[in-house]
Amino acid sequence: MMSRDLRSDQPDVIVRSDATAAAKFVADRFAETIRSLPQCVLGLATGGTPIETYRELIRMHQEEGLDFSAVTTFNLDEYVGLGPDHPQSYRHFMRQHLLDHINIDPSRTHLPDGLATDLQGHAAEYEQQIVEAGGIDLQLLGIGHNGHIAFNEPGAAGDSRTRVVQLAEQTIEKNARFFASADEVPRTALTMGIGTILEAKRIVMLATGAGKAEAVRRALEDPADADHPASFLQTHANVTYVLDQGAASRLRL
Ligand code: PGA
């Protein structure tokens, strides 16, 4: 991936008035992809940001018949040590917020297995499964306050692959809101690498709220650098940044 030319054109930035409108835009992009390519491979993300997008996709399934029966999904990451039934596992999150409410075949939904005995071997298998599925057609991403994408924390290489990583202290503190205390947040995770993410055919980054404004600005306006992993998206030819006004508030655009 490092061999890709840095894009010279302007990034594709969509700014919507609020988080709901931004989520609607992203859900529409996903729905268009599913309708035009029923067997598409979607890359999915967890966190607070995508919840409204998933809610809208569920609504489209229930009210408009959006059909997920041939769709395949791969999630970005999972905590090491949390099984699928743990309420804070990302498998549980995905079932709760999307997968249990649409007509997707559970065998086509993939997340890294946080309980795998051979984590590194499992990470390599996960990469292989993505390749065998034909690659990811559309990848949804959030962005961390520290610029992480998936659990690629500052310092992650632009050509990194799916692997075990240590969570940054700031990430542990941010995610502690979902656990009884920060002590309970796992310290390690399995994550797709930046190189893995950059192989998706199209990427949509969704960021909402003024708290993300500086992370978004650095991703778009500073040179691509491992200190801010989201900045590596500048090296991909087909990224759409979908922002609400708060998240866009520091951009020069
Ligand atoms: P958030 O997380 O949606 O909970 O803010 C985003 C991320 O860390 O990628």
Q: How far apart are CA 211 and CA 190, in angstroms?
A: 26
Give the Cβ contact number of residue 155 at 10 Å. 12
- Rounded to an integer, the average pLDDT of 122-136 is 98
pLDDT at 10: 84
Give the Å distance between the CA of 144 and the centre of ligand 1: 5
Spatial CB neighbours of 179, under 8 Å, sequence gap ≥ 6? 88, 185
* 140-152 mean pLDDT: 98
Taking only the tens place, the pLDDT of each residue in 59-95 is: 999 999 999 999 999 999 999 999 999 999 999 999 9
Q: For position 126, what pLDDT does the model report?
A: 98
User: H helices within 37-190, ranges in order?
Assistant: 51-64, 90-97, 119-132, 169-175
pLDDT tens-digit series, residues 26-72: 999 999 999 999 999 999 999 999 999 999 999 999 999 999 999 99
CA gap 197, 162 in Å, rounded = 9
What are the tens digits of pLDDT across the range 116-125? 999 999 999 9
Q: Is 61 one of the annotated active-site residues of the chain? A: no
Identify the DSSP state of 49. Answer: T
Closest approach atom of ligand 1 to CA 143: 9
Query: What CA–CA distance (Å, rounded) separates 194 from 232?
Result: 8
The residues, any chain, with a CB within 8 Å of residue 239's CB and separated by 6 or more, are 11, 12, 202, 203, 204, 205, 233
- Taking only the tens place, the pLDDT of each residue in 148-195 is 999 999 999 999 999 999 999 999 999 999 999 999 999 999 999 999
Is 148 part of the annotated catalytic residue set? Answer: yes
In this predicted structure, what is the pLDDT of residue 98? 98
Q: Is 153 a catalytic residue?
A: yes
Q: Which of 113, 153, 199, 244 is an active site residue?
A: 153
Q: Report which ligand 1 atom has the smallest distance to the Cα of 212.
A: 5
CA distance linking residue 56 with residue 40, whole number of Å:
19
Ligand 1 pocket test, candidate residues 26, 49, 149, most atoms within 8 A of CB: 49
User: Residue 225's beta-bridge partner residues?
Assistant: 228
Write the DSSP symbol of residue 32. Answer: H
pLDDT band at 19 (very low <50, low <70, confident <90, very high): very high
Q: What is the pTM of this model?
A: 0.95
pLDDT at 9: 67
C-alpha of residue 172 to centroid of ligand 1, in Å: 12
Active site residue 77: yes
pLDDT(8) > 70: no
Strands (E) located in the chain: 12-16, 41-44, 72-75, 77-79, 109-110, 138-141, 163-166, 188-191, 202-207, 239-244
DSSP single-letter state for residue 160: -
Residues whose beta carbon lies within 6 Å of some atom of ligand 1: 47-49, 142-144, 148
